[in-house]
Amino acid sequence: MRARRDAALRLLKTMLAASIVIPAAVFSYVAWINYRTAFAQADEEIAASLNILSQHASGVFQSADLMFVAVNAVFGDLTDEQIKASEQALYMQLTKLEKEISAVDAILVVDKNGQVIVSSVGFPTPIDRPVADRDYFKAQVERDAGTYVGATLQPRVRKEPFFGISRRRPLRDGQFNGIIMVSVAPKVFSAFYRELAGDTTASFTLAKSDGTVLARHPDPGGVARFMPGSGFMLGVIDHPQGGFVSTHSIDDVQWRFAYRKLGYSDLYATAALQTDAIYAGWMRLMASHLVFGIPATLFLCILVLLSMRRTRAFYAEAERRELAEQALRQSQKMEAVGQLTGGVAHDFNNLLTIIIGNLGIAKRGVVESRAERALNNALVGAERAAQLTQRLLAFSRRQPLNPRMLDVNKLIVSISDLLTRTLGENIELETIGGAGLWKVEADASELESTLLNLALNARDAMPKGGKLTIETSNAYLDDEYCRHNEGTAPGQYVLISVTDSGAGMSVETIERAFEPFFTTKEAGKGTGLGLSQVYGFMKQSEGHVKIYSEKGEGTTIKLYLPRRVGDEADLSADEHKSSERGNGETILVVEDDDGVRQYASEILRDLSYQVIEAKDSASALRLLDADKKFDLLLTDVVLPGKNGRELANEVEARRPGTKIIFMTGYSRNAIVHHGRLDRGTELIPKPLIERVLARKIRQVLDSGPNGS
């Protein structure tokens, strides 16, 4: 769409340029206007080039700054004698640092007498090549010159010219102890300038405020400098920060010239165009006006301008509609799949309760080791299937969440050891907590599971090792961003960025990444539900998830959780601990699936509880009418007739204070609203696991009247 629009606009602009003809009566006026326009456009081109030059130079010198930081970190407070004693090891470290930054040609560490004591140039360091006569050394002797950039010099060891960037070696007493010098080759700049100029007559220069030229395109040959009376030198005196010079002569050629001071030492970047080339362009434009008549010009100009306006409006509206339709189609597809998976998980959880429960019962009665191993394997498989249904429910946004006010920074710190063990020794984990981070309201265990899922995916994307970075910050999503991301509301969010240095994803993979069962891993190495679970949890938490990735460049997954105001929940509180066996209490079990009900009842009887069974709400209410006594109601949520919530309300009305626990494998709106568990509601998920069921029942029975 964008390519077609650009092609259409280019065509219309070409028609407009071809149709301009100025009548002879106003030719002189138009010529003057076009003359000024030509130079204004040239100034814009020069300014644009100057922006690029400044950014490039800043990048190179920032690399040099990083190099100084790295060298200081290596040498610290080492004395000259300690450096000489470890010369070979330090040489290897300097060589490694030099290779990491292509702009750096060499690194020298010099003592206060100008003798190089270690360098990245070679080992051992020659003692007959002092640098006391070099400008980058002399500038630092008398006073701390900060970061000093010297003139272009001819090296004594290597062949390529260079200019040195020096800083004093820090000492605690502040006395001069020598320097650290980072060498940069002018060709780093001149090669970039040559590529930027292309086949134009443009000229680019990196120079010092005293006129010394460090790098230039075209190459001036030898050591060059601006003369004291040149436009550059006069401009620096009058306007030190930068400006334009109407004409400037260098190499016997007239230039339209601009300069700008860099935010680094006393360096300037300059850009220029030959005035002859600007004049030639203006002359060509004037010649074109003589070809066509005034009526044709006016007609075509108006027609083309109207066409350009309508074309822009048409393609802008078409692009907005296309983005909206894509977002809607994706949202509808994910919602349809979510409804399907939620329904499947509901029935599957009931089956798994029967399978896991009866396997556990059978295992307790088995003595022969071979049969016990088979039951163990079957039990493991069934539990893995249970985890699969939980992921399906997470994707379909049907899992019940128990959100609390959280400090995300503290949560990440609490699971960092687990993440480190999960990633393995060959992957480095770095966590960066944002200062002043807002609070969020989310299910802590599900958020931990989400981060663990992303860490596992990152580990699989970095089989040969790499780095995983988890960073938090405050963020704001504006209306423009939300228009392009369906289901996202503008506002304040806490952002969790999970970045790996792995293989990255293609555009096609990103578009399908959140679909359930879609995976790029080998068969048997993934269910394809990891990112689906992340997607479902974030949507159910009213958040947003976005993937940024390129092949070979790694992947960043950004999780946005809405900002909430309130007190942080205590994540470290100990759970109520007590025996998991019963004391003869009576439990009413209400479950419409016979297999699930029988399994739950048998487990509870084994735990020394008295059990009363009911297959639906009507049967349970008849037991209430018959004045059957029980201490706790264990009921399924989805029941024929009255659902579990309605049954619980009836029990609470008739017998206030009765303890109630809900069971569910697929939460609807009975006890979960907007993805959140109703306050004060106790829930145990299906499939039922014996140890989990025993612990939950004991915990509820031992709690106070309000669950305290």
Q: What integer is the mean pLDDT of 643-670?
A: 81
- What is the number of structural domains in the chain? 4
Q: Is 566 left (phi over 0), alpha (psi -120 to 50) or beta?
A: left
**What is the band of 523 on the pLDDT scale with cuts at 50, 70, 90?**
very low
User: Is 273 within a domain?
Assistant: yes
523 DSSP 8-state letter? T
- Distance (Å, whole) CA 525 – CA 515: 17
Neighbours of 376 (CB within 10 A): 13
Which pLDDT score, from 0 to 100, does residue 161 have?
86
Question: Per the structure block, which two tokens stand in for 635?
Answer: 């009921």
Same domain, 627 and 559: no
- Percentage of the chain exceeding pLDDT 90: 14
CA distance 53 to 264: 13
Smallest CA-to-CA distance from 536 within 288, 338, 273, 268 is with: 338
Q: What angle do CA 386, 633, 661 make, to 5 degrees?
A: 45
Choice between 153 and 686, residue whose per-residue pLDDT is larger: 153
For residues 656 and 518, membership in a common domain is answered with no
Residue 437: C-alpha distances to residues 264, 565, 566, 706 (Å): 33, 12, 13, 33
Give residue 395's pLDDT. Answer: 46
Supply the range of the domain harboring residue 461.
404-564
Question: How far are the Cα atoms of 564, 576, 682, 703 from residue 632, in angstroms, in the given order?
Answer: 35, 18, 12, 12
396 belongs to a structural domain: no
What pLDDT is stored for residue 577 in this prediction?
Answer: 46
Residues 167 and 260 in one domain: yes
User: DSSP assignment of 484-514, as one string?
Assistant: TSTT---EEEEEEEEEE-S----HHHHHHTT
Helix 294-364 / helix 594-606 crossing angle, nearest 10 deg? 50
Q: What is the pLDDT of residue 472?
A: 94
The answer to whether 618 and 641 have CB atoms below 8 angstroms apart is yes
Mean of pLDDT values over 15-28: 59
Could you tell me the two tokens for 83?
């450096």
Task: Please report, for the domain that includes residue 639, its CATH number.
Answer: 3.40.50.2300
Average pLDDT over residues 222-239: 79
Q: DSSP assignment, residue 690? A: H
Predicted confidence at residue 614, as pLDDT, reads 92
Residue 189 confidence (pLDDT) above 50? yes
Q: Do 191 and 274 belong together in one domain?
A: yes
Domain assignment present for 14: no
Q: Are residues 557 and 600 in the same domain?
A: no
Residue 162 lies in a domain: yes
β-strand pairing of 427-432 with 466-477: parallel
The DSSP string of 253-293 is EEEEEEEEE-SSTTEEEEEEEEHHHHHHHHHHHHHHHTTS-
Q: Say if residue 656 is in the same domain as residue 540.
A: no
User: Six-digit token pair at 148?
Assistant: 């000093």
41 and 119 share one domain? yes
Is the pLDDT at 370 greater than 90, yes or no? no
d(CA 46, CA 56) in angstroms, rounded, equals: 15
Question: At which of 275, 290, 305 does a domain end?
Answer: 290
Pair 333, 409 in one domain: no
| Longest CA–CA separation in the chain, Å | 113
For 403, phi then psi, to 5°, come to -75, 145
pLDDT band at residue 497 using 50, 70 and 90 as cut-offs:
very high
Residue pair 210/223 in contact (Cβ under 8 Å)? The answer is: no
Residue 220 has φ and ψ, to the nearest 5°, of -75, -15
3-state DSSP assignment of residue 480: helix
Give a yes or no: residue 306 inside a domain. Answer: no
pLDDT at 634: 93
Token output for 191: 């090669």
Which amino acid does the sequence have at 99?
K
In SS3 terms, 160-181 reads as CCEEEEEEECCCCCCCCCCEEE
* Of 339 and 195, more confident: 195
- The answer to whether residues 691 and 580 touch, using CB atoms and an 8 Å cutoff, is yes
674 against 520, higher pLDDT: 520
User: Does residue 241 or residue 315 have the better pLDDT?
Assistant: 241
**Within this chain, do residues 114 and 237 fall inside the same structural domain, yes or no?**
yes
Secondary element (H or E) of residue 45: helix 27-75
**pLDDT value at position 678?**
61
CA distance 637 to 668: 8
**Lowest mean pLDDT: which of 2-6, 30-34, 609-613, 630-634?**
2-6
Whose structure tokens read 């399924």? 636
Q: Please state, in angstroms and rounded to a whole number, the distance separating the CA atoms of residues 346 and 494.
A: 33
At position 377, the amino acid (one-letter code) is: N
Residue 572 lies in a domain: no
Helix, strand, or coil (residue 430): strand
Asked whether residue 571 is domain-assigned, the answer is: no
The first and second tokens of residue 15, run together, are 């028609």
- Whether residue 432 sits in one domain with residue 376: no
Write down the pLDDT at residue 314.
Answer: 78
| Residue 44 resides in a domain | yes
- Residue 318 — φ and ψ, nearest 5°? -65, -40
Report d(CA 16, CA 301) in Å as an integer: 6
- pLDDT higher than threshold 50 for residue 508: yes
Q: Which of 80-89, 304-313, 437-446 has the lowest mean pLDDT?
A: 304-313
- The better pLDDT of the pair 576, 253 is held by 253
Domain at 540, CATH number: 3.30.565.10
**pLDDT at residue number 613:** 93
537 and 609 co-located in one domain: no
Q: What's the Cα-to-Cα distance from 661 to each of 562, 590, 700, rounded to whole Å?
A: 30, 11, 8
Backbone angles phi, psi at 254, to 5 degrees: -85, 135
Residue that terminates a domain, selected from 290, 325, 343? 290
Kindly report the average pLDDT of the chain as a whole number. Answer: 79
Q: How many residues does the chain have?
A: 708
Q: What is the pTM of this model?
A: 0.40
Q: Examine the domain organization and report whether 133 and 238 are in the same domain.
A: yes
CATH code of the domain covering residue 68: 3.30.450.20
CA 562 to CA 487: how far, in whole Å?
A: 13
